[in-house]
Amino acid sequence: MKRVDDFRLKLGKDELVPIMIGGMGVDISTAELALVAARLGGVGHISDAMVQDVSDRRFDTSFVKEKTKFYKYNINNSDKTDIKFNLEQLAEATRMHVGKTMEAKQGTGMIFVNCMEKLTMNGPRETLKVRLESSLDAGIDGITMSAGLHLGSFGMIADHPRFRDAKLGIIVSSVRALQLFLRKNSRLNRLPDYVIVEGPLAGGHLGFGMDWAEYDLQTIITEIVQYLKTENLDIPLIAAGGIFTGSDAVSFMENGAAGVQVATRFTVTNECGLPANVKQEYFKASEGDIEVNNISPTGYPMRMLKNTPAIGDGIRPGCESYGYLLDGNGNCAYITSYNREVAAHPDAKKVSVMDKTCLCTHMRNFNCWTCGQMTYRLKDTTRKLPDGTYELLSAEHVFRDYQFSVDHQIALPV
């Protein structure tokens, strides 16, 4: 019976344990978590989502405070077009977050940064270019392009000295998305070093509509394998979404995947950035407590716990401090919904907004409890303590359990 450790993920000349810990936005996949994966020979992700806020928390900088001060005059204005990112500060925060993480890296594995295109930041092209370039400048091993088609992203960094040496990958949820990406980028003569194929059971935003349940990860991988074969392309595929045991991972690797990306099982580790009480909510969840809804202003469906405080909350849009989801014209679907509710309830002290959420504020405060579909099984990965809470795990324990377990077994903490 095979185990994950019988396989190796080859990225160019490099050989890795074929386990990636997925990027989990706004510092849920912390540097500490990514560093464990790298130390154990796999790949860890940090995320550059809301990097200025992350930098403030990690390094005591004051990017958010300064931005809030600068745009204070606009706080009561429903028009947010004025709010722009200072590109120098964005670069500085990214270089700090990435650079300090890379300085701390040990072991033979790698650290990548998850870079979401949907963070349009009221200047989609220029902000994305700065984010990508600054990560490369700061020595990141690789960049995973996510939450978007990224048709222009490789082109943006084609002149960067590390364009051909850093590992560059993309997340897709269909063969069509990959075809589009490859077609658009053919003139660059640079293929992705890996493609993460994310199925419908993943956490965070989904690359599917509300009909996500009709899709199946293995079917998508098989389609992509076929397509790459006909095109004579050799790109390692990384399976992601709902892979809960080492045996699940082996099954994908015996059927076309070169590795796996996993996240949910790491949400209840000490190294994960979620607050302790939220980790307990993840442990406690039953299958019926998990839903896919449309409250994210990005337009992508998102999976989360039903009792997530973000649902229905009518907080004033936090764009003067954050503004990561403002599109190129200074709009965000939450602002539209919020303004509608305020207009409908002029005397209310606080409105409730059901259809959208202020994702920046709520992710920043860990009040949007996004999770994978397998979250309801987390309680089976640990033991219950006498006080009724569940014991947190170490990331090393979970990583090694994926790497060495057979027969769908899950090792409990010792």
Stretch that binds ligand FMN, among 55-63, 135-143, 161-169, 197-205 (CB under 6 A): 197-205
The first and second tokens of residue 372, run together, are 């994978």
Got the DSSP string for 209-273?
-TTGGG--HHHHHHHHHHHHHHTT----EEEESS--SHHHHHHHHTTT-SEEEE-GGGGGBTTSS
In this structure, the number of other CB atoms found within 10 A of the CB of residue 368 comes to 25
- The yes or no reply on residue 198 touching ligand FMN (CB under 6 A) is yes
The first and second tokens of residue 113, run together, are 């940064």
Query: Which parts of 286-305 interact with ligand FMN (CB under 6 A)?
Result: none
- The yes or no reply on residue 49 touching ligand FMN (CB under 6 A) is yes
**Do β-strands 19-21 and 259-262 pair in parallel, antiparallel, or remain unpaired?**
parallel
The CB-of-33 to ligand FMN minimum distance in angstroms stands at 11
Q: Are 311 and 295 in contact (CB under 8 A)?
A: yes
String marking each residue 114-153 x if it binds ligand FMN according to CB under 6 A: x-x-----------------------------xx------
Question: For residues 161 and 293, what is the distance between their CA atoms, to the nearest angstrom?
Answer: 41
**Do β-strands 290-293 and 302-305 pair in parallel, antiparallel, or remain unpaired?**
antiparallel
The CB-of-349 to ligand FMN minimum distance in angstroms stands at 32
Stretch that binds ligand FMN, among 229-237, 261-269, 291-299, 316-324 (CB under 6 A): 261-269
State in Å, rounded, how far the first CA of the chain is from the last one: 24
Question: For residues 325 and 298, what is the distance between their CA atoms, to the nearest angstrom?
Answer: 7
Which residues sit opposite 204 in a β-bridge?
303
- The yes or no reply on residue 192 touching ligand FMN (CB under 6 A) is no
The CB-of-112 to ligand FMN minimum distance in angstroms stands at 11
Stretch that binds ligand FMN, among 98-106, 152-160, 322-330, 364-372 (CB under 6 A): 364-372
How far apart, in Å, are the Cα atoms of 129 and each of 114, 120, 308? 14, 11, 33
The CB-of-8 to ligand FMN minimum distance in angstroms stands at 20
User: Where on the phi/psi map is residue 190: left (φ > 0), alpha (ψ -120 to 50), or beta?
Assistant: beta
The CB-of-162 to ligand FMN minimum distance in angstroms stands at 21
- The yes or no reply on residue 25 touching ligand FMN (CB under 6 A) is yes
- The yes or no reply on residue 370 touching ligand FMN (CB under 6 A) is yes
Closer residue to ligand FMN, CB minimum distance, 136 or 268: 268
- The yes or no reply on residue 273 touching ligand FMN (CB under 6 A) is no
Closer residue to ligand FMN, CB minimum distance, 114 or 134: 114
Closer residue to ligand FMN, CB minimum distance, 118 or 351: 118
- The yes or no reply on residue 263 touching ligand FMN (CB under 6 A) is yes
Q: Are 42 and 106 in contact (CB under 8 A)?
A: no
Residues at the contact surface with ligand FMN, assessed by CB under 6 A? 22-25, 28, 47, 49, 114, 116, 146-147, 171, 198, 201-204, 240-243, 261-264, 267, 370-372, 374
